[in-house]
Amino acid sequence: MKSSDNLTTERPTFVTHLECAMEGDHYPADQVHNLSKAGKPLLVRYDLAGVKQALTKDALAQRPADMWRYRELLPVRKCQDIVSLGEVMTPLINLPKLSKKLGGGEIIVKDEGRLPTGSFKARGLVMAVSMGKA
């Protein structure tokens, strides 16, 4: 895999905590969790004022097109903890012929086949391993 500044440049993270989708309980962002105590998904919460001040669309557009482009929005705090399989950006693809065949409406699919594992699970896997390493 070729090197990416996204993997080697230390950046702040604006993840403040995780929150139970049902009860609102808070959980530390620096730990691996499964579900909340209520058995519900955990939502990521951010310092949005900090994000607005630190990130611009232009700055993001200049970075290599991989999952780690958005480092400030991910819970991995240090470069040394990043584990990557080379997760590239995966495009949304419009399917107008299928839409027409099915009678209308817009159909869009995400091409996850471009990921190293050929599956959407690649991103979750490297995030879990990176968090476990930290």
Q: Where are the domains of the chain?
A: 5-87+121-133
The pLDDT assigned to 3 comes to: 61
The pLDDT assigned to 1 comes to: 44
Q: Is the pTM of this model over 0.85?
A: no
Side chain identity at residue 63, one-letter code: R
Tens of pLDDT along 28-76?
A: 988 888 899 999 999 999 999 999 999 999 999 999 888 899 989 988 8
Q: Beginning with the edge strand found earlier in the chain, give each strand of the sheet holding 15-20 in spatial order.
A: 26-27, 15-20, 42-46
Residue 32 CA neighbour count, 13 Å, CB half: 11
Q: Which residues contact 21 (CB under 8 A, 6 or more apart)?
A: 36, 40, 41, 42, 43
Query: Can you tell me the distance from the alpha carbon of 43 to that of 29, in angstroms, rounded to the nearest whole number?
Result: 10
Helix, strand or coil, per DSSP, at residue 20: strand
Tens of pLDDT along 66-106?
A: 889 998 998 888 889 988 888 888 889 999 999 999 998 99
